[in-house]
Structure formats: C-alpha cells, structure tokens
Structure 1
C-alpha cells in the first residue's frame, strides 16, 4: 500500500531521512513512534507529495509518487491535521462545501448518515446547525473525523487528532479508527495509540 525505497529527504536545512525504506500494508494501522523532531509530520506530507525527497522512491498502491501521479494518489488519502481552521460558517454548510469539492461530488449529502456518525463520536446533533466558531477544540477534531469518514478514502493520515480530547474520547476515537478496514498512519504522543494494537514504526537518525 505505502512503500518507501531508499528515501533521502532534506527539509528546512536538516537531513531528516537517510536511505529510509519501509512498507505499510493494505489495512495496517501504524503509529509513527520516533522521537519529537524526527520528521513524523513531514513524513505524512511527503506521502501526500507536498514535500519531495532528494532521492529514492515512494509508491502508493503500486504507483510511484511523481508529478504525473500525485493528483490521483491524493484522491486515495484523507489527511487530518492537529490544527483545524474551519471557515466561519455552520457545521452543516462546512460539510456540504467539503462534499462539493470536485473529488467528492460523487458523495451525496445524507443528514441521517452524518447524525449517525455524530452519535458514534458522541457529538450532539444540534452541533450540525451551530457555527464553526462556537466549537471547542475537541468538537473540531471530531468534526474532522466525521469529514474523514464521509469522504471514504483508502488511506487516513492522522496528525495528533486526539490531542484536544479527554481520556474517554481519546479511547473512543482510537477504537473508531482501529476497527476500520482502511490503512491508517498515526502521529500521536497519546498513550491511547501507543498502548493499542497498532504496528509501531521507529526510525533513528533518519534511517
């Protein structure tokens, strides 16, 4: 599913990866378990083609990531960052706008499905009509998870997506992603991930 072969990457005047090779299989749940500052968030950006390695090859679903393939590859990926800066609108309008992106227009707006996801994530149904500016950090993260679920990507890249949640909700979101059949790559310092049944990937000095 995700394969790196001899990847070398310089980023912001720092050598982050040196001859890095690894494989993440279809459906695997993987926690990037390297120390802070080792390039975990940059790794996610590299998988999406926003950061280009100096040398080596990255393949997603058997296709080499390059300028010709990057758009199609991104359509397979859902990325959820730690900081979510939603437009100043209602949650309902936000969801409709996301589903109106050209890559998502095949997905019908289904309020019953959305409220079903809200229920799974312990979000009040009334939030659908609220302004995004009224949302707490934890509510924003769960709206982000809702959007990820709605757009139905093969690969989910999660960057500190449980950081603003209490312990109970951290456990809930962890279990929510682990039960999916999708490939999930996680960057997190939360114990809920490190203590769960995930594969841990660690590199040392970029290798």
Structure 2
C-alpha cells in the first residue's frame, strides 16, 4: 500500500533557526496519527510543511508517491481539511460559512441541500438553528465543529487537525471521536488532549524539531 504522506529526512529552517531536523515517517490511508511534544517541538510545523507553507532545506515530502511541488501542494489542499485551534470561517453567518466553498469552481454545482447541512451539524452535536447565527457570535468550540462539518460536506478524506478538541466539552468531544472513527478518513493531528491521543492508532513524539518516537 502506498502511503498518502511520506516525510523523508526532512529539515526545515525558518528565521535562521532549524524548526524541523531529519524528520522521517509515513502515513497510510485510514490511519489516525497524532503529533505530540512540548510547545515549540515542531508539531504544527509538520502540518504547515505538508501544506507547502515552509520550504524544505533538506529531504523530501511525498504526497501519494509524488514529491512536494506546486501541483502536489494543490492536490493536497484540494483533498485536505486543515482545522486549527480557532478556525476562520470566512463568512458572516454559519450558513454562509458552510456554503462558502461551494461558490468556488472546484465545488460549484455540489451545494448541499438543507437536510445535508443539518445532518452534518447534528453529527457534531450542533443544533440546526446555529445556521442563523453570526460567525463572530459563536464559541471557539462551535467554530471548530463547524469547520469539521464543512470538511464532511466537501467529502474531504484527509484531515490535518491542530488541537481540534481544545475547546470542546465531553459530549462534543465524543461526537468528534465518533466522526473520526470512520476508517475512510485519514488524520494527522496535533494534540495534548489525553482522550484524543488515546483514540489515535499512531503516536509520533517530537522534541526540539526531531522525531524521537513513533508508536503504533
């Protein structure tokens, strides 16, 4: 089986500092991997490198067997949902935020029906009437789940998640766990949450930009 993502002896420098050093790992379809380590250990830098936001100083990143370049970065972004600690929803209302990607050429003509919007929200313990609310009047935890719902509506199968349960209560976390139990979804995440880590089948530990442990 070909890995979706492969880092091969990757090093990255930023602001005259080495932020990743000789990182090598593979991520296969359906895996749920979590990057662990202290603040500044390079966890989020791995996600940004994969999205083409950091230039490589050494090594190579492969996506579905192809080396990272302009075209493969576009392919990664087209099939990936990246969700940070406080997602920017990019629209005034929750409804508009969920429908925003469907205005673009790549997704035009695939706009979900009302019932699909409500189903995606309910899967994540969000009420249907949140569609009417302003994006700047909802909580961080609600923004995280709305960003996840948008990924589900778009049919994304690769998720890059940065502390995505950091603002969730127990019931909301359980809903997120249930969504990502789907074997068709591949996840590379950053987390400190022990509950999230315990549900991942791969734990990759970093220290000062180096990979020190990879446990499956």
Q: Calculate the TM-score normalised by the size of structure 2.
A: 0.88
Unmatched runs of 5 consecutive residues or more in structure 1:
none
> Is 1:171–1:192's contact at 8 Å kept on the other side of the alignment?
no
Could you list the per-position Cα deviations for residues 52-107 of structure 1 after superposition, in whole angstroms to 9, with x for gaps in the alignment? Answer: 11111101111111124322232121111112233452211222222212232252
| Inter-partner Cα distance in structure 2 for 1:87 and 1:59 | 30
1:179 positional shift? 2.4
1:30 positional shift? 0.2
| Inter-partner Cα distance in structure 2 for 1:131 and 1:165 | 19
| Inter-partner Cα distance in structure 2 for 1:119 and 1:41 | 29
1:12 positional shift? 3.2
1:160 positional shift? 0.9
The 3-state SS of whatever aligns with 1:186 is: strand
Structure 2 residue aligned with 1:100:
103
Match of 1:168 among 155, 167, 171: 171
Alignment coverage as a number of residue pairs? 207
Unmatched runs of 5 consecutive residues or more in structure 2:
212-216
Q: Does 129-138 or 44-53 show the bigger shift?
A: 129-138
Q: Does 88-97 or 147-156 show the bigger shift?
A: 88-97
| Inter-partner Cα distance in structure 1 for 2:105 and 2:65 | 24
1:180 positional shift? 4.3
Structure 2 residue aligned with 1:186:
189
Q: Calculate the TM-score normalised by the size of structure 1.
A: 0.92
Runs of 4+ in 1 over 4 A off after TM superposition: none
Q: 1:12 and 1:142, CA in 2 relative to 1: closer, same or farther beyond 3 A?
A: same
